[in-house]
Amino acid sequence: MSMEEDKAISRRFYDEVINHGHLAALDELLASDCEGFKAAGAYGASNREHFKRLLAFALHTFPDCQHTIHAWHAEKDIVVTSFCLCGRQTGEYLGVPGVEKQFRATGSDTFHLVDGKIREHWVDLDTLHLGRQIAAMVPLDVDSAYEV
């Protein structure tokens, strides 16, 4: 597949699955041996079905989540995106009840594609900033919280 075709598959992932909640599109987008979502320091999906369940949970918890892609880079069978996501939390997340809080976070995704399907997906998300917004876990204004 060409790099442009690989980018188009990644774009479908955002447009159809994340931004519009059409989980059925994953049956076309994911390789049968997809290892799915992987994140540094967090849980991941061990297989295709687990990946689909994680996405279903995320879309239930953050139902109006929208990804805006700011940059794309493709080389060989890898596509990397830089994104901003925003929405509101309506379901429980890491023990924090859904209270309609708005959030905005940035991150990047890396897709490994094989034969026109997503074989692996890694995410790097600013979860500290996200947690500050939905749970007020740590102060947003670090400068005023600590004296040097």
Domain of residue 106: give its range. Answer: 3-139
> In this structure, what DSSP letter does residue 27 have?
H
Please check whether residue 10 lies inside any domain of the structure: yes
Please check whether residue 146 lies inside any domain of the structure: no
- CATH number of the domain that residue 16 is part of: 3.10.450.50
Judged by DSSP in three states, 134 sits in helix
How many domains in the chain?
1
Please check whether residue 147 lies inside any domain of the structure: no
One digit per residue, the tens of pLDDT, for the chain of length 148 reads 788 999 999 999 999 999 999 999 999 999 999 887 776 555 566 788 888 888 888 888 888 889 999 999 999 999 999 999 898 888 877 677 777 778 888 999 999 999 999 999 988 888 777 777 777 544 445 455 444 4
| Global pTM value | 0.81
Q: Tell me what pLDDT residue 136 has.
A: 57
Please check whether residue 145 lies inside any domain of the structure: no
Strand ranges across the sheet with 36-39: 36-39, 117-125, 101-114, 78-89, 66-75
